[in-house]
Amino acid sequence: QVQLVESGGGLVQPGGSLRLSCAASGENFNNYALAWFRQAPGKGREFVAAISWRSEHTLYEDFAKGRFTISRDKNTVNLQMYSLKPEDTAVYYCAAKIEDFYGLRHTINYDYWGQGTQVTVSS
């Protein structure tokens, strides 16, 4: 049974850092792109970043560029977040998409989802 489990969320002060991790299990994910999305209260689920199965390609939404780094080690995908802002507060989800590396910004194109981990940025 395919499972994606996020960890690493929590409460952090503005300007702080967090490292999220997502462990995928149940099959070999080396033919999948892995990604992070987030959903803030009252908003839809939005794209954060994605990485190809060989880690040769990455894609970032504008708000994440220069502050967030996505990385991958086999079936684990990480999101290192620096200089966090209150507007980064959201539930962060990891997701897996069967290769090809197109349509990565849209939730409907993903095959599997984790349950999410809460990130709260507040003083």
Q: What are phi and psi of 63, to 5 degrees?
A: -65, -20
pLDDT number for residue 76: 93
Please, which residues bridge with residue 112 across strands? 96
Q: Which residues contact 66 (CB under 8 A, 6 or more apart)?
A: none
Percentage of residues of the chain with pLDDT beyond 90: 84
* Token pair of 83 as six digits: 């200089």
pLDDT number for residue 53: 86
Distance of CA 117 to the CA centre of its chain: 10
Rounded Cα–Cα distance for residues 52 and 71 (Å): 10
Q: What is the pLDDT of residues 26-77, one digit of tens each?
A: 988 888 999 999 999 999 999 999 999 888 899 999 999 999 999 999 889 9
Across residues 11-23, what is the average pLDDT? 98
Mean pLDDT of the chain: 95
Q: Is residue 35 within 8 Å of residue 20, measured between CB atoms?
A: no
- pLDDT category, 78, cuts 50, 70, 90? very high
**Locus of tokens 């803030």:** 40
Across residues 16-21, what is the average pLDDT? 98
More confident: 1 or 67: 67
- Strand ranges in 13-116 using DSSP code E only, listed in sequence order: 18-25, 32-39, 46-51, 58-60, 68-73, 76-81, 90-98, 112-113
Q: Of the candidates 71, 83, 77, which has an alpha carbon nearest to the alpha carbon of residue 12?
A: 83
Across residues 13-32, what is the average pLDDT? 93
pLDDT number for residue 65: 97
